[in-house]
Amino acid sequence: MKKPVFISLTALFGILLLADCASHRSFSGNGPVHSLKAIFKDDFRIGTALNTTQIEEKDPAVDALIQEQFNTVTPENIMKAEIIHPEWSRYDFTQADRLVAYAKKHHMTVNAHTLIWHSQLPSFMHTMQNTDSVRQYLTSHIHTIASRYDGKVYSWDVVNEALNEDGTMRRSVFQQKLGDDFVVEAFRTAEKAAPHTKLYYNDYNIEEPAKRAGAIRLIRKIQAAGVRIDGVGIQGHWNISSVPFQKIEDSIEEFAALGIEVMFTELDLSVLPSPFKDNITADVNQKIEYNAAMNPYTNGLPDSVQQKLADCYGNLFRIFLKHKDKISRVTFWGAGDQQSWLNDWPVQGRTDYSLLFDRQLKPKPAFFSVINLKKTNL
């Protein structure tokens, strides 16, 4: 007769924990079982922002993570005007071409970012006073770049952040010299230059009712002019203390009702104190001086905050899944926490924890909270 085998509770817990860790490994080695892009493959594409180091594949750990988890990429900076169009009559496509080659090699789509934005403009645009020159810039910048990458990138953020918080038009150089219709002009030029590329409007806080109403007016105006706009990107830079869940859901419905794709294009959730009383979530021009009280988690994130982050991400993806018929893409603004722009905005040199992967690129509770929503289908 066989002897009964006794396993202590501690040993049993250990075995279960090991099994759990194995099934939650980021790098499965046996196919992307716990990969975001695989898990959400029937729902929406899953993207990340890429910086130069990543495009050049200089860090094998982050490269492996990106290839495992994401099927679409957005350049974090290298297609912005100051880099791709440094002088009036000189373009520099070196890094953008590299990005396109990277995406092709790894079977990813590219959301090109961005053609017309008031920020990160080339220095020659900082002093531009002449209306005709601004018009010429807008037309030739869009034509040159969008036609070069037509058929090579999937989509363009044609115009980025043209609105103020109250839904009025931001007083950018484009608005001041060309009037509010510069947005329609930009889309008209992009439509001609890039007939095979999806064309999007992208902005932050457009889930907020006043700004959302402004975005809807803008999109309707483009449509009324008979010009093509394929989608709208809600950037999704939020803080775990105030993720506007209901407004996000309302926005998905209202934007989708315009007959266009809805995307979350720059998703990250800051866990740090915000210095702003008003609802500024991504105005890159805002800079606040460092003080230690604004940087409370330099030695790691307390469990309660980690859990709050996980809950917020879980709730967000629950909404995304509920509306998956209207949402075509969810892009995180970076792969791991180390990469996040939030470590340096609006206060430089902080330690934020805004993404699904930590500084060692390990999946965080927030990652599991997101994938657990689909667990029954795994």
Active site residues: 161, 266
Q: Which of residues 69-128 bind ligand G3I (CB under 6 A)?
A: 76-77, 119-120
Q: How far is the CB of 313 from ligand G3I (least distance, A)?
A: 19
Instruction: For residue 280, state whether it binds ligand G3I (rule: CB under 6 A).
Output: no
Q: How far is the CB of 132 from ligand G3I (least distance, A)?
A: 27
CA–CA gap between residue 191 and residue 292 (Å, rounded)? 48
Cβ atoms < 10 Å from Cβ of 130: 10
Q: Judged by CB, which is closer to ligand G3I: 35, or 160? A: 160
Q: Judged by CB, which is closer to ligand G3I: 282, or 309? A: 282
Which residue in this structure is represented by tokens 């959730």?
269
Q: Judged by CB, which is closer to ligand G3I: 123, or 376? A: 123
* CA dist list (Å): 8 to 16, 17, 20: 12, 14, 18
Q: How far is the CB of 341 from ligand G3I (least distance, A)?
A: 3
Cis upstream peptide for 139 (omega within 30°): no
Cβ atoms < 10 Å from Cβ of 27: 13
> How far is residue 252 CA from its own chain's centroid?
16
CA-closest candidate to residue 125, choices 168, 75, 178, 76: 178
DSSP string, 237-286: EEETT---HHHHHHHHHHHHTTTSEEEEEEEEEE-SPPS-SS--S--TT-
Among 284, 294, 305, 319, binds ligand G3I (CB under 6 A): 284
Contacts of 250 (CB under 8 A, 6+ apart): 207, 212
What track of x and - describes contact with ligand G3I for positions 136 through 165 (by CB under 6 A)? Answer: ------------------------x-----
Q: Judged by CB, which is closer to ligand G3I: 167, or 334? A: 334
Q: Judged by CB, which is closer to ligand G3I: 40, or 341? A: 341
Among 235, 251, 328, 343, binds ligand G3I (CB under 6 A): 235
Q: How far is the CB of 43 from ligand G3I (least distance, A)?
A: 24
Q: Judged by CB, which is closer to ligand G3I: 38, or 96? A: 96
> How far is residue 194 CA from its own chain's centroid?
22
Q: How far is the CB of 34 from ligand G3I (least distance, A)?
A: 26
Query: CA angle 9-15-17, nearest 5°?
Result: 100
Q: How far apart are the first and last CA of the chain?
A: 40
CA–CA gap between residue 79 and residue 3 (Å, rounded)? 69
Instruction: For residue 268, state whether it binds ligand G3I (rule: CB under 6 A).
Output: no
Q: Judged by CB, which is closer to ligand G3I: 35, or 205? A: 205
CA–CA gap between residue 353 and residue 350 (Å, rounded)? 10
Instruction: For residue 266, state whether it binds ligand G3I (rule: CB under 6 A).
Output: yes
Q: Which of residues 306-345 bind ligand G3I (CB under 6 A)?
A: 341
Q: How far is the CB of 160 from ligand G3I (least distance, A)?
A: 6
Cβ atoms < 10 Å from Cβ of 355: 27
Q: How far is the CB of 39 from ligand G3I (least distance, A)?
A: 25
Instruction: For residue 282, state whether it binds ligand G3I (rule: CB under 6 A).
Output: yes
> Which residues in this chain contact ligand G3I in the complex, by CB under 6 A?
76-77, 119-120, 160, 235, 266, 282, 284, 341
